[in-house]
Chains A and B, each alone.
Chain A
Amino acid sequence: MIEFKHVTKRYPESGEALADVSFRIERGELTFLTGHSGAGKSTLLRLIPAMERPSRGEIILDGVTVQDLPTRQIPFLRRKLGLIFQDYRLLNDRSVFDNVALPLLITGHNPHEVGRRVRAALDKVGLLKKEKRLPLALSGGEQQRVGIARAIVHKPPVILADEPTGNLDPDLAEEIMRMFREFNDVGVTVLIASHDLSLVRRFSRRTLRLEHGKLIEAG
């Protein structure tokens, strides 16, 4: 589902963030990506939705070579992904409902379906009663769950999460991780970047480990 072939990413200011990284994640796998901060986890995750382009190598997502994609095709690539960010990236002047509805509006779903699917997603993350709230009126854990609802509302085949539990206490973190496992149980390919090794170990799944931009353990 996700394949990296000898991918290198070099920044003009800070040098090599990723060096000759190769791996392959099969459809329906749940994989962790670990490493210290600055090891290249975020860079790796940013390459998949073409937020950045690799300096060298090839990235293949669902059979499509990502870095060759023309700019105007990138939105259609991103619609296959559910992206979850450490800082949530919610629109703070919009209600929880509107935030979660955004991916569906982008893909042009009709209004009746939008309401039904948004509520289904909010129900899954346990926030059905807070759909009218603004994100800043919610706790960090709740905001992250809004982010997760937004990532799954359009039923993407792949979920990419960058430090989804970074700002949460251990109990909440574990709850969020269990949620990802549930998505994986229904066939979604999940890739989670996390520096919380103890949490990752408890889930005992395949783990990719990055150190100074190099992949030193590929499960």
Chain B
Amino acid sequence: MALMRKTGSRRGIFRQPLQSETALSDRTKAYLILQKDSLKASFARIWETPIASSLTILVVAIALALPVSFNALVQNARQPVEALETTSQISLFLKPELSNEVAQKLANKLKQNPALIDASLITKEDGLRELAAYSGFGDALAALNNNPLPAVILLKPKASDADSVSRLLVELKSLSEADKVQFDSEWLQKLQALLAIAQRCVTAFSLLLGFGVLFTVGNTIRLELQNRRDEIAVAQLLGATHRFIRRPFIHSGFWYAFLGAVLAWGLANLLILGVRTPANQLAELYNSPYRLSFVRLTDTGILFASAILLGIAGAWIVVAHFLREIDSE
């Protein structure tokens, strides 16, 4: 034995021969059985104290549901805004004295411009017809002797970022045929800025409430550790390693976080369901095809992964601290 201590592996010194001589696959199997049993036992313990456990799970769920539902709403708002971005249009009003032929020539020329996807001409007559059809001023317009409308070329820019669009606008304004160039981008930019702020808020909330989850799970585990102090002391006297003592608590942390995440997912979707009807009505009023969608699959994945990670981390930190304390006693 003294020889083993000098030459043998650091871990194996006190292992029973029975353990070190079993085949690796057997040990892995035994380990997996142990993990599974411990997970089941941890779940049973949570089940045994329904009130205390559900309080923890509820707090975890609320802390998770807030950023998740907030994020889902921001994602929903981004969808139509991004769509707007790609359909942004420049209206080029031509000088009223220009004939339709000149206007058509210009439109054809602009179609060749590499910064533009499309250029379509609305002649003076087209414009008047449209106005008469949609505005309800048909009779009043019919009374006019001559058409007061200018020809308009609708342009779709290739790039939608502010820099390239403003460069394009300057170029269009310098055209001799141009009377006025209109691009309603300011409100879109403001909306995008607002959404960017909202997105940042989601991140900040997620971090903050993530700490909330960490501490909630940690605190619950700390109480469990206090309650089972005697049991831990006995187990240590019987040769329990830190790993053995840690395992059930890590599994408790897993369950609190997992069940909290399930509940949070439900809560977030419930919240979206609540806003869905009026939001969809609004979309219909704007003739928009967008409908509010529930928490997306990737976000669900992120929710569960980060919740479980936080739960396990919270438990781990508290148990590690507890074991250090016991060892120094």
Interface residues of A (CB under 8 A from B): 49, 51, 62-64, 71-73, 75-81, 83, 89-91, 102-103, 106-111, 150, 154
Chain B residues with CB below 8 A from A63, complex form: 1-2, 5
Are B237 and A78 closer than 8 Å at their CB atoms?
Answer: yes
B33 near A110: Cβ-Cβ < 8 Å: yes
Some 29 contacts from A to B, beta carbons below 8 A apart, are A49-B237, A62-B1, A64-B1, A64-B5, A64-B13, A71-B327, A73-B13, A76-B13, A76-B14, A76-B15, A77-B239, A78-B236, A78-B237, A78-B238, A80-B14, A83-B237, A83-B238, A89-B237, A91-B230, A91-B231, A102-B234, A102-B235, A103-B238, A106-B238, A106-B240, A107-B16, A108-B19, A110-B30, A154-B16
Please judge, given known A-B contacts A107-B16, A111-B33, whether A72 and B235 are in contact too, CB under 8 Å.
no
Chain A residue nearest to B242 (CB atoms) is A72
Chain B residues contacting A106 (CB-CB under 8 Å) are 235, 238-241, 244
The 6 closest A-B pairs by CB, nearest first: A76-B14, A63-B1, A79-B239, A78-B239, A63-B2, A75-B239
Q: Give the nearest-CB partner of B14 in chain A.
A: A76
Contacts of A103 in B (CB 8 A): 238-239
Bound: A90/B15 CA distance, A: 24
Q: Is the CB of A107 within 8 A of B19?
A: yes
Q: How far is the CA of A73 from the CA of B244 in the complex (A)?
A: 14
Contacts of A71 in B (CB 8 A): 327
CB of B239 within 8 A of CB of A107, answer: yes
Q: Does B31 have its Cβ within 8 Å of any Cβ on chain A?
A: yes
Find chain B residues with CB under 8 A from A110 CB.
30, 33
Inside 8 A of B238's CB, which chain A residues have their CB?
Answer: 78-79, 83, 102-103, 106, 150
A108 vs B33: C-alpha distance in the bound complex, in angstroms? 10
The answer on a CB contact under 8 Å between A108 and B30 is: yes
| Least Cβ–Cβ distance between A173 and chain B, in angstroms | 23
Q: Whole-angstrom distance between the alpha carbons of A154 and B5 in the complex?
A: 22
Say yes or no: A89 contacts B239, CB within 8 Å: no
Residues of chain B at the chain A interface (Cβ within 8 Å)? 1-2, 5, 10, 13-16, 19, 30-31, 33-34, 37, 230-231, 234-242, 244, 327
Q: How far is the CB of A161 from chain B (nearest CB, A)?
A: 13
List residues of chain B with CB within 8 A of the CB of A109: 30
B118 → chain A closest CB, angstroms: 71
* Residues in A neighbouring B30, C-beta threshold 8 A: 108-110
A76 touches B237 (CB 8 A): no
- A108: chain B residues at CB < 8 Å are 19, 30-31, 34
Give the complex CA separation of A65 and B235 in angstroms. 23
Using CB atoms, name the residue of chain B closest to A71: B327
Closest CB-CB distance, A95 to chain B, in whole Å? 14
Say yes or no: A79-B16 contact (C-beta < 8 A), given A51-B237, A107-B239: yes
Which of A63, A76, A81, A103 is most buried by chain B, counting CB atoms within 10 A of its CB? A76
Give bound CA distance, A55 to B263, whole Å: 55
Which residues of the other chain, B, contact A64 by a CB distance below 8 angstroms? Answer: 1-2, 5, 13
Given contacts A63-B1, A63-B2, contact A76 B33 (CB under 8 A): no
A201 → chain B closest CB, angstroms: 30
Q: What is the CA–CA distance of A72 and B237 in the complex, to the nearest angstrom? A: 13
Q: Once the chains bind, are A77 and B14 in contact (CB under 8 Å)?
A: yes
Residue of A nearest to B16 (CB): A107
Nearest-CB residue, chain A, relative to B240: A106
Task: Find the residue from B2, B14, B34, B238 having the highest chain A CB count within 10 A.
Answer: B238
- Cβ–Cβ < 8 Å partners of B14 in chain A: 73, 75-77, 79-80
Min C-beta distance of B22 to chain A, whole Å? 9
In the bound complex, how far is the Cα of B28 from the Cα of A108, in angstroms?
11
Closest to A151 in B: B238
Q: Contacts of B240 on A, CB cut-off 8 Å?
A: 75, 106
Contacting residues, chain B, for A102 (C-beta < 8 A): 234-235, 238
